[in-house]
């Protein structure tokens, strides 16, 4: 590999994408916006996309270095300066830039002066030599793994405790980019029709072995047209499995307690052949708006969206009204890091108990909604046992009218008999947990 060559324009695009990535979620939307402004296309796009995502993956590490060099948390710096230092550190410390690229890094000082304030440009110019000379000190195994795999040390320790030697495989797989997965919406199209469309576009794809309506797209391709027509939705295989495990039937009453952006609601409506009723709860107005668009596009007729906290659902709907309840609970979402690389540095060990408290309240609310004989699916996209098996155990101990129904595949048994887990490194999807609970008659 030759030395890294970046032009001024490419550095400006990266800098704006990194800055925008703080305000716009998911970060890929920020990247698209900044790259189109600077007309970054074709091979140039793939090269810069790789650099952008590696900055997101290394964010916590890069910010630690900035703090070491500057003496204050990067979060209190001017946002343009913060973004410029992040880009400069990634290029200078983790890559091998050529002489011209180093000159262009210096040139960012003028760009900053124009964008924000001349003082910011001077300050950047002043600190850049220390950035270019930085060498890390790695003095512990955890720190070594942190540099190798780019995760907070507490998270690495947790995964090692849970998986032993296998933990490194998991950390490695969380650093790989997952292909785009889409789920065909059978209310509007057949899998064969969508596959034929992709073939016409010369896009390589594979059908999931575990969910026959999920396709993985193996080439850079934007499936926007399929989404707009409602023929398909963006959904990971492990997320699609949740609705299949709950298996709602036509004519039933179903409650989805944390429903936005609506992928599972739409999937359940499809499984129910648009017969019956789904009440889809969420607290966030923006997410509800998106969910309504998704449901409209996919031709879902039986879902009613309700803007309310899922914990209030029994007051809104009454008790024992549902045949099935889907509780895909809010969680730390660490199972989705391959999809959201910047998330890893927002994970805080001290936040876990807060999340667990909310999950416990929601599962209690779900139980009150369920008819005798009804079924509840408790799922998360977290891999931490406290948010998964521990919540289910706590719940089962509190209620004597419960039965954990064993889930036999398509993934691996969880750490509590009868539950199931999808692992990124074993199944090539996001991390996911499932527990199916029945209310005894």
Instruction: Please say if the pLDDT value at position 143 is more than 90.
Output: no
The residues of the chain that CATH labels 3.30.70.1170 are 180-234
Which two tokens mark 440? Answer: 């005894």
Q: What percent of the chain has pLDDT over 90?
A: 86
- From CA 378, how far away is CA 330, in angstroms rounded? 11
Is the CB of residue 304 less than 8 Å from the CB of residue 280? yes
Question: Which is it for strands 253-256 and 322-328: parallel, antiparallel or unpaired?
Answer: parallel
pLDDT digits (tens, 9 = 90+) for 297-324: 999 999 999 999 999 999 999 999 999 9
CB 102 within 8 A of CB 132: yes
CATH code: domain 8-132 is 1.10.940.10
The three-point CA angle 417-330-59 to 5° equals 105
pLDDT of res. 439: 98
Check whether 58 has a pLDDT greater than 80: yes
257 versus 178: the higher-pLDDT residue is: 257
Percentages of the chain per state (helix, strand, coil), in multiples of 5: 55, 15, 30
Reply yes or no on whether the pLDDT at 69 is more than 70. yes
Residue 287: exposed, middle, or buried by beta-carbon count in 10 A (0-12, 13-18, 19+)? middle
Confirm whether 331 is a catalytic residue: no
Cα 416 to the chain's mean position, in Å? 25
| Cα dihedral 224/227/233/235 (nearest 10) | 10
Those residues with Cβ within 8 angstroms of residue 235's Cβ, 6 or more apart along the chain or in another chain: 181, 182, 183, 214, 263, 267
Q: Which two tokens stand for residue 78?
A: 């001017």
81 has a pLDDT exceeding 90? yes
Residue 177 has pLDDT above 90, yes or no: no
The C-alpha atoms of residue 6 and residue 1 are separated, in whole angstroms, by: 15
Q: What is the mean pLDDT of residues 183-202?
A: 98
Q: Name the CA radius of gyration of the chain, rounded.
A: 24
Whole-number Cα distances in Å, 254 to 365, 392, 437: 14, 21, 15
Q: What is residue 42's three-state secondary structure? A: helix
Compute the distance between CA of residue 152 and CA of residue 154 in angstroms, rounded to an integer: 6
d(CA 403, CA 400): 8
Do you find a cis peptide bond into 253, omega within 30 degrees of 0? no
Dihedral angle over CA of 131, 56, 72, 94, nearest 10: -20
Neighbouring CB atoms inside 10 A of 196's CB total 12
| pLDDT-based confidence at residue 1 (cuts at 50, 70, 90) | low
Look-up of token digits 């440009």: 121
Q: Residue 206 pLDDT > 90, yes or no?
A: yes
Point out the catalytic residue in the list 313, 381, 383, 422.
Answer: 381
Structure tokens at 185: 């919406």
| Intervals of CATH 1.10.940.10 along the chain | 8-132
All CATH 3.40.50.150 domain ranges in the chain, comma separated: 237-439
pLDDT in tens, 380-412: 999 999 999 999 999 999 999 999 999 999 999
Range 180-234 has CATH code 3.30.70.1170? yes
- pLDDT (mean) for 283-287: 93
CATH number for the domain running over 237-439? 3.40.50.150
Q: How does residue 153 score in pLDDT terms, banded at 50, 70 and 90?
A: confident
pLDDT at position 129, please?
97
């Amino acid at each position: 590999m030759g030395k890294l060559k970046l032009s001024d324009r490419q550095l400006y695009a990266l800098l704006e994408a990194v800055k925008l990535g703080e305000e716009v979620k998911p970060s890929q939307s920020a990247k698209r916006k900044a790259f189109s402004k600077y007309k970054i296309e074709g091979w140039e796009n793939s090269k810069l996309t790789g650099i952008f995502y590696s900055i997101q993956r290394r964010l916590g590490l890069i910010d630690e270095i900035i703090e070491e060099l500057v003496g204050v948390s990067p979060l209190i710096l001017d946002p343009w300066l913060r973004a410029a230092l992040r880009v400069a550190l990634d290029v200078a410390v983790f890559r091998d830039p050529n002489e011209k690229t180093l000159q262009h890094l210096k040139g960012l000082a003028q760009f900053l002066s124009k964008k924000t304030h001349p003082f910011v440009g001077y300050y950047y110019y002043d600190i850049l030599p220390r950035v270019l000379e930085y060498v890390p000190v790695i003095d512990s195994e955890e720190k070594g793994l942190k540099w190798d795999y780019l995760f907070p040390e507490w998270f690495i320790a947790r995964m090692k405790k849970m998986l032993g030697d296998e933990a490194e495989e998991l950390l490695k797989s969380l650093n790989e980019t997952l292909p785009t997965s889409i789920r065909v919406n059978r209310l509007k199209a057949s899998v064969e029709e969508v596959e034929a469309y992709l073939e016409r576009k010369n896009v390589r794809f594979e059908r999931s072995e575990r969910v026959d309506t999920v396709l993985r797209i193996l080439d850079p391709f934007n499936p926007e047209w399929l989404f707009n027509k409602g023929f398909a939705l963006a959904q990971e295989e492990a997320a699609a499995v949740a609705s299949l495990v709950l298996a709602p039937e036509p004519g039933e009453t179903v409650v989805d307690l944390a429903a936005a952006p609506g992928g599972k609601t739409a999937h359940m409506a499809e499984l129910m052949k648009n017969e019956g009723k789904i009440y889809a709860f969420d607290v966030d107005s923006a997410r509800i708006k998106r969910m309504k668009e998704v449901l409209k596009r996919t031709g879902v007729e039986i879902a009613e969206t309700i803007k309310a906290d899922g914990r209030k659902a029994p007051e809104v709907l009454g008790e024992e009204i549902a045949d099935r309840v889907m509780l895909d609970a809010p969680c730390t979402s660490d199972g989705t890091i391959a999809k959201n690389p910047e998330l890893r540095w927002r994970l805080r060990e001290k936040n876990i108990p807060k999340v667990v408290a909310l999950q416990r309240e929601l599962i209690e609310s779900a139980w009150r909604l369920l008819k005798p004989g009804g079924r509840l699916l408790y799922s998360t996209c977290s891999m931490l046992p406290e948010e998964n098996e521990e919540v289910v155990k706590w719940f089962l101990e509190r209620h004597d009218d419960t039965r954990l129904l064993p889930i036999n595949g398509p993934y691996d048994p969880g750490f509590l008999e009868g539950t199931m887990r999808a692992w990124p490194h074993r199944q090539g999807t996001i991390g996911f947990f499932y527990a199916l609970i029945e209310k005894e008659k």
